[in-house]
């Protein structure tokens, strides 16, 4: 083992004499651990989001065993600990409500314990940002191991994945698919360990950590069921021990240049709109001054390279076989900050240098992209004073410049009650507006922004309309969907006073979203509006509503910005 740059943090526990050292060591020994195992060795936490309520992370106990092997091999001592796990599919009202809570759990669990380094096991959507945010606020050596995507779903000779949920749902409403058949589709779609097999939020987060330099190369795309996922986990275990010796911390890796790389990569892969919110929140923890508009300026000249659902055709498995994220990075080499350092101590360039693009149908090039539209655009205008987000790569070309009349739903219940009624005044040129699904208003900003179209238009064969909300959309969703309107309706801005029949103009090329109502009329409407009181007076949800920031700032809690570091000056007895 190399000489260490700094003394071990864990020696403040296990290296102590007297009563305190006795207590710290004695109770570890009831696990049958010899003194020499943990005294003087780097203690590596494995922060595990395994939970049977987070099916995407259901294989993480096994994955942790591979990490442990690597830690032992390199001379460290692994200690696995659970943190709050956020399952996207089961948690109500939305897993996003708990991202910040989980980040607090992670932060405090790392800081309070005798850890020298930490391995974050991340999978389902929110389990990545919550763990990275928490770890950044402590800032000890950290490496991410993602769980990997599921194998591509196979249904009646077709490849399917999570994005088909929305298609099949529309087919049922349109009457072209039997409800009973959905049971067979469910089973065919989720057929292996891992997270969603498309470029949804989980895969976008796995790409984000690799692009930021927080994981070993190849982390993003190796399927969960592929033996090489375990190899990557084991190698990550080895590497974190070296990172402790080198004292290589998140703050050394997460420079503004690393964030710029992640934004460009997300544009090139057609990554999730949720990426915007999570990256802003992570930047807030490390103190990098990232702004919503940086996503526009950095993404603008990056075309869509990856032909992956929901923007394209293929699946994460195909991305891996085509060369994985390193092959994408290599295609982007003229746009990236190639000298940024990553967890393995090598630069971005060194990590992609030996990679190859094995399938240009899956990974295009800058000269021959899959789609010239970039993956993300930030909109401005009087409808969204602090911005809004759209994913042009997953939108309809004929709606990129569109003016239409607003059909307004005041909240999700209003939408559900009226969307399929015969007397709803709506046609394909209308713009559906859904309010009160923002961070404070819902609360938790659910993924309902790609709201289904009115049944009567589906029956006419209409499959896309402009939709606008202050909520989010699943990373697996698609359509001409404007999201993250800030300020949200619950804050009482212009968005909160849009009325039925108002004319809205969207121009994605000009990055504009305009409401044709005069400033005077908007001011009058706002002065007549009363804001609703918070939905609950107690518990975490009340804390969240009172402290969550708006989407354009990353929807973190105001008091969680920045870091408290790794020092703990006082003992427990």
Residues of this chain that interact with ligand FES (CB under 6 A) are: 56, 88-89, 124-125, 162, 195-196, 200, 202
Pick the closest to residue 203 from 152, 254, 239, 138 (CA basis): 152
In whole angstroms, the minimum distance from the beta carbon of 124 to Mg ion comes to 8
Residues 6+ apart with CB under 8 A from 98: 84, 86, 91, 126, 130, 444, 540
Integer Cα distance of 130 and 119 in angstroms: 14
Site for Mg ion in 115-144 (CB under 5 A): 125
The verdict on 201 binding Mg ion (CB under 5 A) reads: yes
The verdict on 54 binding Mg ion (CB under 5 A) reads: no
Between 222 and 506, whose beta carbon lies closer to ligand FES?
222
In whole angstroms, the minimum distance from the beta carbon of 364 to Mg ion comes to 26
The verdict on 294 binding Mg ion (CB under 5 A) reads: no
Measure Cα distances from 411 to 69, 451, 487, 490, 522 in Å. Answer: 50, 12, 16, 11, 20
Cα radius of gyration rounded to whole Å, the chain: 24
* 3-state SS, residue 429: coil
Between 120 and 383, whose beta carbon lies closer to ligand FES?
120
In whole angstroms, the minimum distance from the beta carbon of 445 to ligand FES comes to 16
In whole angstroms, the minimum distance from the beta carbon of 8 to ligand FES comes to 36
Integer Cα distance of 41 and 470 in angstroms: 49
Helix (H) or strand (E) holding 187: helix 182-189
Integer Cα distance of 350 and 534 in angstroms: 51
* 3-state SS, residue 399: helix
With contacts defined by CB under 5 A, name the span among 25-33, 66-74, 200-208, 516-524 that binds Mg ion.
200-208
What pairs with residue 160 in β-bridges?
153
DSSP at 88: T
89 binds, among ligand FES, Mg ion, none (CB under 5 to 8 A by kind): ligand FES
What pairs with residue 314 in β-bridges?
308
394 binds, among Mg ion, ligand FES, none (CB under 5 to 8 A by kind): none
In whole angstroms, the minimum distance from the beta carbon of 176 to ligand FES comes to 25
- The three-point CA angle 13-566-138 to 5° equals 135
Integer Cα distance of 431 and 447 in angstroms: 18
Q: Which two tokens stand for residue 459?
A: 């029956």
Between 208 and 491, whose beta carbon lies closer to Mg ion?
208
In whole angstroms, the minimum distance from the beta carbon of 463 to ligand FES comes to 23
* 3-state SS, residue 71: helix
Site for Mg ion in 432-471 (CB under 5 A): none
- The answer to whether 155 touches 185, Cβ cutoff 8 Å, is yes
* 3-state SS, residue 419: coil
Q: Which of 162, 374, 474, 496 binds Mg ion (CB under 5 A)?
A: 474
Between 78 and 149, whose beta carbon lies closer to ligand FES?
149
What pairs with residue 28 in β-bridges?
none
Between 124 and 448, whose beta carbon lies closer to ligand FES?
124
* 3-state SS, residue 388: strand
Between 121 and 468, whose beta carbon lies closer to ligand FES?
121
202 binds, among Mg ion, ligand FES, none (CB under 5 to 8 A by kind): ligand FES
The verdict on 80 binding Mg ion (CB under 5 A) reads: no
- The answer to whether 367 touches 285, Cβ cutoff 8 Å, is no
In whole angstroms, the minimum distance from the beta carbon of 123 to ligand FES comes to 7
- The answer to whether 33 touches 103, Cβ cutoff 8 Å, is no
The verdict on 195 binding Mg ion (CB under 5 A) reads: no
Between 83 and 557, whose beta carbon lies closer to ligand FES?
83
The verdict on 88 binding Mg ion (CB under 5 A) reads: yes
Between 202 and 329, whose beta carbon lies closer to ligand FES?
202
Between 200 and 493, whose beta carbon lies closer to Mg ion?
200
513 binds, among Mg ion, ligand FES, none (CB under 5 to 8 A by kind): none
56 binds, among ligand FES, Mg ion, none (CB under 5 to 8 A by kind): ligand FES
Between 196 and 336, whose beta carbon lies closer to ligand FES?
196
Given the rule CB under 5 A, which residues bind Mg ion? Answer: 88, 125, 201, 474
């Amino acid at each position: 083992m190399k000489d260490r740059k700094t003394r071990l943090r864990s020696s403040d526990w296990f290296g102590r004499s007297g009563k305190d050292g006795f207590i710290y060591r004695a109770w570890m020994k009831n696990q049958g651990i010899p003194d020499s195992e943990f005294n003087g060795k780097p203690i590596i936490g494995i922060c595990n989001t395994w939970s049977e309520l987070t099916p995407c992370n259901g294989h993480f106990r096994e994955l942790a065993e591979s990490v442990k092997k690597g830690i032992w091999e390199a001379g460290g001592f692994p200690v696995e600990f659970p943190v709050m796990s956020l399952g996207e599919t089961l948690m109500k009202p939305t897993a996003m409500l708990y991202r910040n809570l989980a980040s607090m759990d992670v932060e405090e669990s790392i800081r309070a314990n005798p850890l020298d380094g930490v391995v974050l096991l991340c999978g389902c959507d929110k389990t990545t940002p919550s763990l990275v945010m928490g770890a950044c606020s402590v800032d000890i050596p950290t490496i991410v191991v993602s769980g990997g995507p599921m194998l591509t779903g196979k249904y009646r000779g077709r490849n399917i994945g999570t994005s088909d949920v929305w298609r099949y749902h529309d087919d049922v409403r349109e009457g072209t698919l039997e409800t009973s058949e959905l049971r067979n589709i469910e089973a065919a779609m989720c057929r292996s360990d891992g997270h969603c097999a498309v470029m949804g939020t989980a895969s976008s987060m796995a790409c984000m950590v690799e692009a930021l330099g927080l994981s070993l190369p190849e982390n993003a795309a190796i399927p969960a069921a592929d033996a090489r996922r375990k190899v990557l986990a084991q190698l990550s275990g080895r590497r974190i021990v070296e990172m402790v010796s080198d004292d290589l911390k998140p703050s050394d890796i997460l420079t503004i240049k690393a964030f710029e790389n992640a934004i460009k990569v997300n544009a090139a892969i057609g990554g999730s709109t949720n990426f915007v919110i999570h990256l802003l929140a992570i930047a807030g923890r490390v103190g990098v001054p990232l702004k919503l508009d940086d996503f526009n300026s950095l993404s603008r000249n990056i075309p869509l390279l990856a032909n992956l659902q929901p923007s394209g055709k293929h699946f994460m498995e195909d991305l891996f076989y085509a060369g994985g994220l390193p092959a994408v990075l290599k295609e982007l080499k003229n746009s990236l900050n190639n000298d940024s350092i990553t967890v393995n101590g090598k630069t971005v360039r060194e990590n992609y240098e030996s990679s190859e693009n094995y399938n240009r149908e899956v990974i295009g090039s800058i000269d021959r992209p899959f789609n010239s539209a970039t993956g993300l655009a930030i909109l401005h205008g009087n409808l969204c004073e602090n911005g809004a987000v759209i994913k042009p790569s997953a939108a309809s070309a004929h709606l990129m410049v569109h003016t239409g009349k607003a059909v307004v739903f005041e909240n999700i219940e209003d939408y559900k009650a009226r969307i399929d009624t015969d007397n709803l005044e709506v046609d394909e040129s209308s713009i559906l507006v859904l309010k009160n699904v923002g961070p404070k208003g819902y609360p938790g900003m659910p993924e309902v922004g790609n709201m289904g179209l009115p049944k009567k238009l589906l029956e006419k064969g209409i499959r896309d309309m402009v939709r606008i909300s202050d909520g989010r959309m699943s990373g697996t969703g698609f359509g001409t969907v404007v999201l993250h309107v800030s300020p949200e309706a619950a804050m009482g801005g212009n968005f909160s006073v849009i009325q039925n029949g108002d004319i809205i103009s969207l121009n994605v090329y000009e990055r504009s979203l305009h409401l044709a109502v005069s400033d005077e009329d908007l001011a009058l409407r706002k002065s007549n509006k009363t804001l609703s009181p918070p939905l609950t007076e107690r518990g975490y949800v009340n804390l969240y509503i009172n402290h969550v920031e708006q989407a354009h700032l990353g929807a973190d809690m105001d008091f969680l910005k920045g870091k408290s570091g790794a020092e703990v000056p006082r003992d427990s007895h």
